[in-house]
Amino acid sequence: MSQEGINAALLGLGTVGTGVYKVMRNQKPEMQQKLNTQLSVRHILVRNVEKHRDKVDDPTVLTTSFDEILEDPQTDIVIELMGGIEPAYTYIRSAIEAGKNVVTANKDLIADHGGELMQLAEENHVELRFEAAVAGGIPIIGPLKSSLAANEIRTIMGIVNGTTNYILSKMTNEGMDYEDALAEATELGYAEADPTADVEGFDAGRKIAILATIAFHSRVTFRDVYTEGITKITAKDIAYAKTLGRVIKLIAMASNTPEGIEVKVHPMLIPETHPLASVSGSYNAVYVDGDAVEDVMFYGKGAGEMPTASAVMGDVFSVARRIAEHSVGSTRDNVYRSIPVKRIENTRSCYYIRMEVEDKPGVLATIASIFGNNSVSIEQVIQKNKIKKDAELVIITSSVKERHIKDALLILESSSVVRRVATMIRVY
């Protein structure tokens, strides 16, 4: 910290970087009162200075050299907003080792290397914060670590990807095509540089890995998370869900069960009356069940320039206060348990299965006996549409083990009366 105040360096000036720069500028007049010191942007790392010159008040802060930032003893906080693993990983490590505090929105990095980087920060007596890595503008990491710290967290269930929630909302409420909705989400700055991470559930998988680690005090990485995306969801399934009084959402879920941690991301039919059902567009929500608090839900914008900048700047302000109070380096990872992660085959759910079958007597009985022989009991059957000579059958099962449903589907797929199993979606 220099005599003039606290200095920050931004790495990246894309969607979130630009938002952070704007918030810094907007907050300038209040900074002294809020922080008891000044906070300035001293460097901004970009790949091409010319491209960004018009975006900033003082273009001399733009640089293409990370070493310039690293070697500047006046830089107190490095704010990493480039995304991806490299060079972000190397830059963050070097910054911590050089005694600089780090704030990042990079869930890819934290989901894979969070433990190691937290340890490095502890060893170097600096802060490492990543509130914006999960659910954009919603404060969730801070509350889990502080306000809810006295709880034994049992379950976290949420909508933590703005892009897919935007797509599913547009498909459900406006009948928009998947491709058009994805293009809009990209245009609005919600999607990742490669939107595969959003639509295949990887982004939500990284976020639930981070939340599970913090909530259960046990290391959960992205590799532990079962992920299924929304690319196979059709207008037909959305319509069937509606007739069942349900909506389809991409749900990220982590539970601490006596047999281990369950952690997964997949589309789910949830009742229209469930609080998560009304979370639309780029909004996210995280539902936390703790032994003392019981149910508590966090809701807000899960992506986009300014909401994400709000979360980043919350971390920056909190680190700046610690610098001003000379108390940096007290952050703890707080991972003190080692709980095994359950395989998806051993988890339980109800299932929605849509299939095309031969339209003749005895078919339903054959299908019911395949389910029965595999310990799957049927809760509801809808035979809705004729497809040429075939029939479309929608079945809702009772709560069964995933391995039983998968065994049953394998046999159904090879059965002479089943043309194809079109969709399998879990039901809440």
Active site residues: 207
What's the closest the beta carbon of residue 302 comes to ligand HSE, in angstroms?
5
Is residue 106 involved in binding ligand NAP (CB under 6 A)? yes
Binding partner of 106, given ligand NAP, ligand HSE, none, CB within 5-8 angstroms per partner class: ligand NAP
Would you list the DSSP string of 33-97?
HHHSS-EEEEEEE-S-HHHHGGGSS-GGGEES-HHHHHT-TT--EEEE-S-SSTTHHHHHHHHHH
Q: Which amino acid is at 241?
A: A
What are the residues facing 427 on neighbouring strands? 269, 350
Q: Which is nearer to ligand NAP, 193 or 235 (CB)?
A: 193
Binding partner of 161, given ligand NAP, ligand HSE, none, CB within 5-8 angstroms per partner class: ligand HSE
- The token duo for 146 is 């502080």
- Gap between the Cα atoms of 309 and 351, Å rounded: 38
Q: Which is nearer to ligand HSE, 203 or 390 (CB)?
A: 203
The answer to whether residues 132 and 112 touch, using CB atoms and an 8 Å cutoff, is: no
Is residue 304 involved in binding ligand NAP (CB under 6 A)? yes
| Contact residues for 370 (Cβ-Cβ < 8 A; gap 6+) | 408, 411, 412, 415
Is residue 16 involved in binding ligand NAP (CB under 6 A)? yes
Residue 390's SS3 state is: strand
Q: Which is nearer to ligand NAP, 131 or 392 (CB)?
A: 131
Burial 62-72 (b: 16+ CB within 10 A, else e): bbeebeebbeb
Residues near ligand HSE (CB under 6 A): 136, 161-163, 190-192, 198, 203, 302-303
- The token duo for 66 is 């990370």
Q: Which is nearer to ligand NAP, 14 or 260 (CB)?
A: 14
Is residue 338 involved in binding ligand NAP (CB under 6 A)? no
- The token duo for 376 is 């799957």
Q: Which is nearer to ligand NAP, 83 or 114 (CB)?
A: 83
Binding partner of 81, given ligand NAP, ligand HSE, none, CB within 5-8 angstroms per partner class: ligand NAP
The pairing of strands 246-257 and 260-271 is: antiparallel
- Binding residue for ligand NAP (CB under 6 A) from 10, 82, 118, 248? 82
- The token duo for 27 is 């907050």
The one segment of 105-113, 123-131, 288-296, 411-419 that binds ligand NAP by CB under 6 A: 105-113
Q: Which is nearer to ligand NAP, 281 or 304 (CB)?
A: 304
| Contact residues for 263 (Cβ-Cβ < 8 A; gap 6+) | 208, 209, 212, 220, 224, 225, 226, 253, 254, 255, 341
Residues 20-79 that bind ligand NAP (CB under 6 A): 45-48
What's the closest the beta carbon of residue 245 comes to ligand NAP, in angstroms?
32
The answer to whether residues 282 and 182 touch, using CB atoms and an 8 Å cutoff, is: no
What's the closest the beta carbon of residue 15 comes to ligand NAP, in angstroms?
4
Binding partner of 198, given ligand NAP, ligand HSE, none, CB within 5-8 angstroms per partner class: ligand HSE
Binding site for ligand NAP (CB under 6 A): 12-17, 45-48, 81-83, 87, 105-107, 132, 136, 189-190, 192-193, 303-304, 308
